[in-house]
A = this chain, B = another copy of it.
Amino acid sequence: MFYKKQTHRSHDRSHNRQRIIKTTSHHPPTSENKLKIIALGGMEEVGRNMTIFEYGDDIVILDMGLQFPEEDMPGIDYIIPNIDYLKGKEDRIRAVIFSHAHMDHIGAAPILLERLGFPLVVGRPLTLAFLKHRQEDYKPNTVKNLKTVVIKSLQDTFKFGIFKLKFFQVEHSIMDAVGIVLETPVGNVVHLGDWTLEKNENGQATLDYSFLSRLKRPIILMSEALGVIDVRPSTNSPKMKKNLTQILEKAEGRVIIGTFASQIERIEWIIEAAEKLDKKIAVDGYSMKMNIEIAKELGYIKTHKGTLIKIDEIHNYPDKKLVILVTGAQGESNAVFSRVVTGSHRNLKIKKSDTIIFSSSIIPGNERSIQKLKDSIYRQSENVIHGEIMDIHVSGHANREDNIQVLKQIRPDYYIPVYAYHYMLVEAAKLAKSIGFSEKNILILDNGQIAEFDAHGGRATDKRIPVEYVFVDGLGIGDISHIVLRDRRVMAEDGMIVIIATINTSTGKLVGNPDIISRGFVYMKEQKELIEKTRHKVKKICEDHNKETPAFEDHLKNEIRNQIGEFLYKQTERRPMVLPVVIKV
């Protein structure tokens, strides 16, 4: 309730502000008549997407995304773009534009906007609504700090310092996704955000970007290239909707669908199809419920009264009348779908007669958990439908053919493939060359690498801005160092052993027996002999140790660490972290 009011109020405020044009500058104009483009994150590790456009004293930023951690970053919640480069330039930032509301584009905003002194934020209604929700979720009562400008119509144009900004529609798996045209003195930058070419039933694209080819030249195209090596024919939404409707229609029992909370378009189809078939929809999962609520409030999802029911009401309806939508199609252990499958959900246990649908568009790193989930579902239900069995998922990313088509439509003077792994950028460049683009007009930018455009053209420079990882772990932002991560990895691998030696300061001799505690190394109760041998070895080290050694304590700790480490490796071929503690009494 609180949240809604907040949204509403800040909405109102943003209306008034909508056409504010910030042109004031506190700095004398610089002599640099060039446009700098810096792409962060998306280049090396897909996710923490952020692009900086800089001309003279004016800076405009596109997106502030988060990246989910890699396998070798245990315990890390997510990673955000490094904004060291913007330190001291905060008041030059004219606007931060958000292309769409997915986490890899808005997820870092609550942290970064605050650090940058809350610059003006620009986006379509759904995007801003999600952003505000994310802000409030991150830190309650802070949404009031956001200064937002809603793009009410795609005809709206904005002026931010030297930059003129226009928007155009793109198709992605969430409503209100946009591309931008950024007019600068040295060229028009077109950025497609995340995009695909939506097809009609006959496989024809429903959007045409030819109009962008008529912009004043040079045209600099920045285009997300995540699907550039995907040669599978693209599926189309009408076909997918038909498949979904058929499944819902044929289902003898309940239909349980595990999907991404962020796939709002897909969720909307499901609700639409269920309603047509006079079925009720129960939704579970915090983010899914919230996303649907936001989309409903803005009119992007329309339902009759009574179509959406609560998850604890499902027992009031016959199975055949029920569609249940839950989060967690990727096997995330804490998501609702996993809880349903493992039988730990309060209201929902799978029955043989249930139809279970989940997407198999696997996020790298999730393969094994999805695998286990699949096995478990197959044990419980006789009607399991996933990506390998039936095409029920439309990709939100353009495939190879789409990329060719759009390059031909826009005919840019410069092509900068973005928001994808480096090797995909290289393949995108190869693709462009194969259809006639000149190599020198294709720029492949590394994470943080600066591209420059001026009256003489554009180029990738050898300058880079700082890009070191900024880890978020619990409440800590950027406080987790590589040392901490290395320790986590070592302990994960072979555990650790704490060795406590109490030493009499005056004699330098051991008092009593050394204490030994092991965690994650061996199960101590079953390894009494090994522990005793280790204790004996520690005693020996302490006895042999000369108390006159300079830095006696550190020296003794090193001896214990090295000798016990070696001893344990010989005994077990494991390398636990050895943590010597010397207590002086």
Contact = CB atoms under 8 A, between A and B. Distances in A.
B484 A75 contact: no
A480 B511 CA distance: 32
Interface in A453-500: 473-476, 479-481, 483-485, 487-496, 498, 500
A420 B374 CA distance: 13
**Copies of this protein chain in the complex:** 2
A168 interface: no
Interface stretch (A30-38, A362-370, A410-418): A362-370
10 contacts: A75-B574, A365-B368, A374-B423, A375-B421, A378-B423, A476-B572, A480-B523, A487-B520, A488-B520, A491-B495
B515 A581 contact: yes
Nearest to A76: B493
A521 interface: yes
A577 interface: yes
Nearest to A74: B492
Going nearest first, the 7 A-B pairs with the smallest beta carbon separation are A474-B573, A492-B492, A487-B520, A488-B520, A491-B491, A74-B492, A364-B367
Contact of A371 (B369, B374, B421): B421
A422 B491 contact: no
A507 interface: no
Contacts of A378: 422-423, 426
Given A74-B492, A502-B585, A476 B522 contact: yes
A229 B496 contact: no
A585 B490 CA distance: 33
B379 A422 contact: yes
A517 interface: yes
A126 to B, nearest CB: 29
A345 interface: no
Contacts of A573: 474-475
Given A75-B494, A365-B368, A498-B581, 15 more contacts: A74-B493, A75-B492, A75-B495, A75-B520, A365-B365, A374-B423, A375-B422, A378-B423, A384-B423, A473-B574, A476-B522, A476-B572, A488-B520, A496-B519, A500-B583
A526 interface: yes
A583 B511 CA distance: 11
Contacts of A521: 484
A427 B474 CA distance: 42
Contacts of A479: 522-523, 526-527
A479 B571 CA distance: 13
A551 interface: no
Classify chain A's interface size.
35 or more
Interface string A370-405: 010011011100001000110000000000000000
A70 interface: yes
Interface of A: 44, 70-71, 74-75, 229, 364-365, 367-369, 371, 374-375, 377-379, 384, 388-389, 421-423, 426-427, 473-476, 479-481, 483-485, 487-496, 498, 500, 502, 511, 515, 517, 519-523, 526-527, 571-574, 577, 579, 581, 583, 585
Contacts of A500: 500, 581, 583
B74 A519 contact: no
Contacts of A517: 579, 581
Q: Chain A interface mostly helix, strand, loop or mixed?
A: mixed
B571 A519 contact: no
Contacts of A485: 520
B75 A493 contact: yes
A191 B419 CA distance: 48
A519 B521 CA distance: 15
Nearest to A75: B493
Given A364-B367, A367-B367, A481 B572 contact: no
A555 B573 CA distance: 36
Nearest to A386: B423
A491 B487 CA distance: 9
Contact of A520 (B70, B484, B583): B484
A577 B526 CA distance: 22
A579 B229 contact: no
Contact of A502 (B75, B493, B496, B583): B583
A367 B374 CA distance: 19
Contacts of A581: 498, 500, 515, 517, 581
Nearest to A374: B423
A519 B574 CA distance: 19
A76 B329 CA distance: 28
A475 B571 contact: yes
A298 to B, nearest CB: 31
A538 to B, nearest CB: 15
Contacts of A495: 75, 484, 487-488, 491
Contacts of A369: 71
A508 B26 CA distance: 65
A129 to B, nearest CB: 26
